[in-house]
Structure 1
Amino acid sequence: MKKSSFVWYPNTQMKEWDSFGEIKSAKGVWLTDSKGKKMIDAVASMWCNVWGHSNPELVKAIINQSKKLQHSSMFNLTNEPAESLGESLVKISPGMHRVFYSDNGSSAMEIAIKIALQYWKNIGEKNKTKIATVENGYHGDTFGAMSVGYVPEFFGKFRKQLFSTVQFSVPNKYRIPKGFTFLDYQNYCLDKIEKRFSKNNDIAAFIMESGAQVAGGVIIYPKDFQKKISQLCKKYHVLFVLDEIATGFGRLGSMIQYEEQKSIPDIVAYGKMLTGGYLTMAATLTSKKVYDSFLGDFNDWKHLFHGHTYTGNPIAAAIANQNIKMYQRNKLIKKIQKTSKVFEEFYQEISEIGVVGDIRHKGMLMGIELVTNKDRKTPIHPKKSINKIFFEEGRKQGIYLRTLGNIVMLVPPLAISENELELLLNRTIQTIKATIPKII
């Protein structure tokens, strides 16, 4: 265990921890700490790892590119890996035309917000200034991202500093309001959106995660819900902006999640798995209509005033290019669709655990909601950090787990084998059972 006097760790109450496990090496789905103990990486190093750790092809891509060009600004210059990646991303993203690079998912969403708001100004529609979002969505930890992805538990202390948004409910099958069927509640949510769209012509963009809310509790959208929102956006001339940072590139079982959802956006953001989880990089893609609105004479001031030091970093772009080639060559999406069925085999065993209220799963993502009373669906809220409880017990069982509130999340590397996934699920079951005396 590593005791640090200098590092401030993310999303951590530092007073709770005396020391932190130091990872010395990793291979495949396994992390190895300084004591030689191995753990399955059940969170894919914060939802981004695709092929497992120390993949030789990705490591080689880093080495080869680092010998030629480590970094060069994209302010008035370009580099071949970034250009090649842009072409590949447009090819696999229906309806998209141009790519704007950034360093991380929060930044990619900040860029999406800026583009969406400026688009309407560029075409002379000054009344469209509001952003619509869904409740409990998550798009990152910067101020713009917090505003459009407001999770009260995370960001309540900053509420007064965030810009206001128009928020709508997302139908959660586990928590349906009294008097509604699930279908009724879906229609109710959609009706609310349409009524607001038709009331005032002031909504610039509707922003949502594509396919599911991840950090908001692993809420899988019902069939056609996202598609119908996209249709409402087109009907009422609202830009449709999708966040595929955590849900695209195979996490939910399809390469481009909005393609499966039949809901082509005006703007989409990618990140996390873009480089296979090896280097930080993100991308914001737009349609031709949106891109063209930024064209004009210099003194028209229509261009996008945004840029990052490491925009289009050639090493990150080179590994992203190799990563996309590997998806195609190894038919990873088909493999994910097959492997993900292993989760289904464990539904009953998990649901029979006394504290498990609901299981939500799609592709290579599972959320297990823990409750104190199955009939009342009362969320578990122990006095001690539930994340710390599960981390410590998971480490004993040989898995690296993180929870989000009362949700145990399984987000393994996408290329995990069926045998490894079975092992992960069995160890997760043992972990949940072992924590019961500590969380109730």
Structure 2
Amino acid sequence: MDKMEDLARRDLAHIWHPCSQMKDYETLRPIVVDHAEGPYLYAADGTKYLDIISSWWCNLLGHCNPKINAAIKKQLDELEHVIFVNFTHEPAIKLCEELAQVLPPGLTKFNFADNGSASVEIALKIAFQYQLQTGHGEKQRFMCLSEGYHGETIGALSVGSMDLFAQMYKPMMMNNIHVQAPDCYRCPFNKNREHCQCECFKFAEEAFAQHARETAAIIVEPIVQGCAGMRIYPPLYLKKLRALCDAYGVLLIADEIATGFGRTGKMFACQHAGVTPDIMCISKALTGGYLPMSIVCTTDKIYDAFYDDYNKGKAFMHSHTYAGNPIGCAAALAVLQIMKEENILANAAVKAKYFNAALNEAFGQHKNIGEIRHIGLINAMELVTDKNKKTGFDGQLRIGYEIYKKALTHGLLLRPLGNVIYFNPPLNIADEDLAKAVALAKQSVDEILG
């Protein structure tokens, strides 16, 4: 038995993989990664895979980036971890100072956790407690957008609208208010995202008119609804939402876990609309995909509502063992330094134009590609059976999975969102690797769909 098969066998003896039907592994064995570099993963059998989805969107600057490696190695010899209650350390202090310079203005206070779902839970609890402590105890519910995704802990599921993840757990979940989200590809008003006034915003206005009095906050993925299939909506929607929240005293929570750190062409997606949320969640690319870390960013106004004598009971009593982990902070600081020193955003903007043009040339006329939508280096192709009617592969939810499996045989890592094929590469990927990804994706799609 060779090394690859031996390790796969041992894996399946014990490991329950995330977001998987393990029975599928009977025919598609787990791929054992031996090492990685840049946008490539190298399996134990020597096969090379182009990771065009940044390993679930978090690998921002390539695998085993030497500058991030060096920062982590240095930090290991100084401090690996310390309780973050009444203790602190320079990497966390510096990271907060650096983030305050690049976040939307006004976000100045930072609460640390270890993953995206945990940051959403913290954001919801902060919003709830803030309303209570500022005299609005009636505001105990949350609004969210349909097709939204904010993680898979119970609170995060409760403010999501993806039944694939949440349906069976609904008896455990909070009763929240779900607002019909923008769907620019299948717009009910027959508009398009480049030329509209966000007529779909009427659904948010109706929800606020009916429920704002009982609503503590609304949580949204700004500009891009990732898990819904990289659904992209106009910045105007976010501007209108900010104004609506202000008018009704509802807090705006921006989930930038997937959209932050240049993924959409701006450092943060909220900056496309020029708005500052009351609370922002960041994770994934925060540490370049190296270490689990998340941060909840908020304003002085929110922070001050928790500031009082301890016996007044206003403290935010939420803790996490690995909050402010020094190694994670060192990685995050290295990410910010690389982005600044290597002019990553400007270079990525050039690559984004090249990549989208290449995808349109390869797939623009394909009979089963309804739309190629993009923002920054994020690109998504909607698979349809009829381009004119925009009908999807109803009842054939595994077409995307079949394309995924085919792409693996050609050395390309795709991970479709249902029947949406998407690309979300490292921001510093080379043009030749983008071209390779397009060619391999075209080969894979053609072999499955013709």
Give the TM-score, by structure 1 length.
Answer: 0.95
| Aligned ranges 1:236-315 → 2 under 5 Å | 236-315=248-327
Distance 1:375 1:257 in 2: 31
2:100 is aligned, of 78, 81, 90, to 90
Structure 1 181/382 Cα, relative in aligned 2: closer, same or farther at 3 Å? closer
Q: Aligned pair 1:357/2:384, yes or no?
A: no
Contact 1:79/1:314, CA 8 A, preserved across alignment: yes
Q: Which amino acid in 1 is paired with 2:78? A: K
Q: Deviation digits for residues 312-371 of structure 1, max 9, x if unmatched?
A: 000000111111111111111111111100232121431222221221111111111111
Contact 2:197/2:236, CA 8 A, preserved across alignment: no
**Alignment correspondent of 1:8:** 16
Secondary structure (helix, strand or coil) at the match of 1:379 reads coil
| Aligned ranges 1:397-408 → 2 under 5 Å | 397-408=410-421
Distance 2:377 2:108 in 1: 29
Secondary structure (helix, strand or coil) at the match of 1:133 reads strand
Q: How far is the alpha carbon of 1:383 from its aligned partner?
A: 5.6
1:25 is aligned, of 31, 35, 53, to 35
Contact 1:176/1:185, CA 8 A, preserved across alignment: no
Q: Which amino acid in 2 is paired with 1:401? A: L
| Aligned ranges 1:334-353 → 2 under 5 Å | 334-345=346-357, 346-353=359-366
| Aligned ranges 1:43-82 → 2 under 5 Å | 43-82=53-92
**Alignment correspondent of 2:204:** 193
**Alignment correspondent of 1:127:** 138
Secondary structure (helix, strand or coil) at the match of 1:324 reads helix
Q: Deviation digits for residues 265-294 of structure 1, max 9, x if unmatched?
A: 100011000011111111000011001000
Greater mean deviation of Cα atoms: 389-398 or 310-319:
389-398
Q: Aligned pair 1:209/2:218, yes or no?
A: no
Distance 2:369 2:165 in 1: 23
Report % sequence identity. 35
**Alignment correspondent of 1:319:** 331
**Alignment correspondent of 1:151:** 162
Stretches of structure 2 lacking an aligned partner (at least 5 in a row): none
Distance 1:354 1:287 in 2: 48
Contact 1:112/1:284, CA 8 A, preserved across alignment: yes
Q: Which amino acid in 2 is paired with 1:29? A: P
Secondary structure (helix, strand or coil) at the match of 1:113 reads helix
**Alignment correspondent of 1:423:** 436
Contact 1:248/1:270, CA 8 A, preserved across alignment: yes
Q: How far is the alpha carbon of 1:246 from its aligned partner?
A: 0.4
Secondary structure (helix, strand or coil) at the match of 1:17 reads helix
**Alignment correspondent of 2:234:** 222
Number of residues of Structure 1 aligned to a counterpart in Structure 2: 436
- Aligned alpha-carbon RMSD (Å): 1.7
Give the TM-score, by structure 2 length.
Answer: 0.93
Distance 2:371 2:133 in 1: 46
Contact 2:397/2:419, CA 8 A, preserved across alignment: no
Q: How far is the alpha carbon of 1:207 from its aligned partner?
A: 0.7
Q: How far is the alpha carbon of 1:378 from its aligned partner?
A: 2.3
Greater mean deviation of Cα atoms: 150-159 or 190-199:
190-199
Stretches of structure 1 lacking an aligned partner (at least 5 in a row): none
Distance 2:192 2:67 in 1: 46
Secondary structure (helix, strand or coil) at the match of 2:203 reads helix
Distance 1:152 1:88 in 2: 38
